[in-house]
Amino acid sequence: MKEKVRWGIIGPGRIARAFAEGLHHSQNGKLVAIASRSKERAERFSKEWQVPFQFYSYQELAESSVVDAVYIATPHSEHMDTTILCLQNKKNVLCEKPLAVNASQVKTMIESARAENVLLMEGMWSRFPPLMRKVKEIVLAGSLGEIFSIQADFGFLPKNKDPNGRLFNPALAGGSLLDIGIYPLSFASMILGMPKSFAALATLGKTQVDEQTSCILKYENGAHALLHSSLRCETNQEAFIAGTDGSLRLHKQCWKPQKMTIQSHHSRKEEYIEMPFEGNGFNYEAEHFGQLLEEDKKDSEVMPLEESLSIARTMDKIRESCGFKYPFEE
């Protein structure tokens, strides 16, 4: 039997726990190390998930020889520096979405991964479950005809509106666009590629991050994508693709893609498809990453680095047109 990929996690917060559970269900990976800035938090996480190695600084984990791959689960503002620290120590990196705060940071990270000849991938986890792979297959096969319209939204009302927490704190690159607006954007990018032009509006909150953002992207063939994110209310959390021959609806919560309805415009027939997760869903991105390592690949065809860069460029333009920057970008 092949050796499993030895994973380390940096930043033992909420999503680190979901990833640890995902690894528990993965066929080709195991969790061996955790790094926190605090001894107490590293030990608590270790105990919770039976992790053999604990590090009390990110640097120590990056330099350690006990891991092959590192999952970075820190706030957005920390992604670039933590990723580069790991890449420079020849660690393969799966970094949570968004890969970084802006396109300039993403570009620096990609250059570093290429210079060190290691694998880097953005953890856009909803691309990897079987149902989302099926959506891409259906679109590529032309079953919906030529795609002209996409609508997708992700809005929720956080229980904790702590202005210092990562969702609302501008110093941690908070706001709806980078945190959840990236899901509709990444979805539209997967289906239609890079937009040619756009229009956007944002509502800034007390802390000067966008609490709602809406945009319309326009593509070369005239297609439109209407995308929305909100930290002020819960929205449909659905995604809808319409083409000349049919349409496809990804049901709530489309970011944990497990249910869809396909409609043919010609026969008027509807097909409802359910593909439930095995595990909690995070296992799919971990397994894909492990497969890339086994094949000695340095980039993923499912979430390519150039596409992460293109999405970061679109987010930069949306923020610029809505007139907001993060304090460290001034």
Ligand X SMILES: NC(=O)c1ccc[n+]([C@@H]2O[C@H](COP(=O)([O-])OP(=O)(O)OC[C@H]3O[C@@H](n4cnc5c(N)ncnc54)[C@H](OP(=O)(O)O)[C@@H]3O)[C@@H](O)[C@H]2O)c1
How many residues are there in the chain?
330
- For 136-202, the DSSP string reads HHHHHTTTT-SEEEEEEEEE---S---TTSTTT-GGGT-SHIIIIIHHHHHHHHHHH-S-SEEEEEE
**Closest Cα partner for 189 from 283, 318, 275, 304?**
304
The nearer residue to ligand X, 79 or 228, going by C-beta atoms, is: 79
The nearer residue to ligand X, 213 or 247, going by C-beta atoms, is: 213
Smallest gap from residue 222 Cβ to ligand X (A): 32
- Determine the Cα–Cα distance for residues 69 and 286; give it in Å rounded to an integer: 10
Bridge partners of residue 274, in order along the sequence: 259
Smallest gap from residue 103 Cβ to ligand X (A): 17
Quote the tokens at residue 316: 């930069």
Smallest gap from residue 98 Cβ to ligand X (A): 7
* 3-state class (DSSP) for residue 97: coil
The residues binding ligand X (CB under 6 A) are: 11-16, 36-38, 41, 73-76, 78, 96-97, 125, 166, 172, 179
Smallest gap from residue 30 Cβ to ligand X (A): 20
The nearer residue to ligand X, 10 or 292, going by C-beta atoms, is: 10
The nearer residue to ligand X, 10 or 119, going by C-beta atoms, is: 10
Contacts 24+ apart (CB under 8 A), 42-45: 42/12, 44/12, 45/9, 45/12, 45/16, 45/17, 45/20
Smallest gap from residue 4 Cβ to ligand X (A): 22
User: On the CB side of 147, how many CA atoms lie within 13 Å of its CA?
Assistant: 26
The nearer residue to ligand X, 16 or 33, going by C-beta atoms, is: 16
Smallest gap from residue 228 Cβ to ligand X (A): 18
* CA geometry: angle 258, 260, 262, nearest 5 deg: 155
Contact criterion met (CB below 8 Å) for 260 and 135: yes
Smallest gap from residue 191 Cβ to ligand X (A): 20
The nearer residue to ligand X, 40 or 296, going by C-beta atoms, is: 40
The gap from C-alpha 6 to its chain's centroid, in whole angstroms, comes to 21
The nearer residue to ligand X, 167 or 241, going by C-beta atoms, is: 167
- Determine the Cα–Cα distance for residues 84 and 88; give it in Å rounded to an integer: 6
The nearer residue to ligand X, 100 or 147, going by C-beta atoms, is: 100
Smallest gap from residue 263 Cβ to ligand X (A): 28
Which residue's beta carbon is nearest to the bound ligand X? 13
* 3-state class (DSSP) for residue 131: helix
Smallest gap from residue 179 Cβ to ligand X (A): 5
Which single residue is written with the structure tokens 């706001």? 175
The nearer residue to ligand X, 126 or 247, going by C-beta atoms, is: 126
* 3-state class (DSSP) for residue 7: strand
